[in-house]
Amino acid sequence: MFKEYFKYYKRINSLEHQSNVIDFENVDVNEIIKYKELKTASCNNEKEKLDGLGLKNDLSDWRCYEISNIPGLIFISNPFTPCGQKYWMKRCIVDYTKKPNRLNIDAHHYIDVEENWWTTVNNTGNIKLRDQLRWATLGYHHDWDTKVYSESAKSEFPSDLYQLSKTIIELLKFPEEFIAEAAIVNFYHPSSTLSGHIDHSEYNLSAPLLSISFGLSAIFLIGGHSLNDKPTAILLRSGDTIIMSRESRLSYHGVPKILLSENDRKIKYENEWEFNLKNYMKVTRININVRQVNNAIRS
């Protein structure tokens, strides 16, 4: 059933007449969709911490939901400020594409050793190179062939992304500490899809998986532990964040459609560098998914 729904949503060109897609900007809270309570952040230090991570510092502005028929799935409707969105876009595009992080284009030697992907693209105007970037891996580098994490394939995990992930999980009142150890930054284009799959390479499968989207909107499809289970379709806009925990942590999920017509929540771009960013994000969806790999607690 998952594959049939995936094919259906892959063929659509807009959300018109797609009443089965959950849009959390226009959703009625009911017995299926419920508000998720957050931990309070009242003191100035906590609000400064949220500010520093590009998050809205007034938690009354956060809208978090749970879906009762997908146990453990939490949806946060864009907890980022406009400046925060630009900060994380820049980190993904400019910084997380640098060494020692690994890219899908590394083996092709497209980039001058004295430069990096973003600099090369802007200096050369090479649209083909721009669109060939599909993923970057951080921390423990995901092995796409073996699906196994290795201590010999690991670099330092970005401290800001570590803190962002830890803070969001804490605000959601998870009982265990979340240790961000690996991330895949995916770069989607309008024709891109992500087939239905389960993320089960991590040694710790009880820890939640954090997924953050920026740029173009997308339809996210999540089912159950079998491809025969009927999936639910959710609209993801720029800044929207999903946490998969409990039963949903091992549920089939994928992205059948990137929606080119959906805007980026009217983010303002103010200088030449930001206009380059804007032009890239007009044709790109970025997804950061962060995982805890091990059971051991960091000392």
In the annotated binding site for Fe cation, the residues are 197, 199, 253
Structure tokens at 18: 């797609």
**Integer angstrom CA distances of residue 115 from 102, 110, 111, 196, 215:** 15, 11, 7, 35, 25
For 10, counting Cβ atoms within 10 Å of its Cβ (0-12 exposed, 13-18 middle, 19+ buried), the class is: middle
Binding residues: 197, 199, 253
**Alpha carbon separation from 266 to 26, 28, 124 (Å, rounded):** 18, 24, 28
Burial of 166 (0-12, 13-18, 19+ CB in 10 A): middle
Token match 């809208």: residue?
Answer: 63
Q: How many CB atoms lie within 10 A of CB 216?
A: 25
CA proximity to 292, closest of 243, 252, 248, 254: 243
Residue type, 173: K
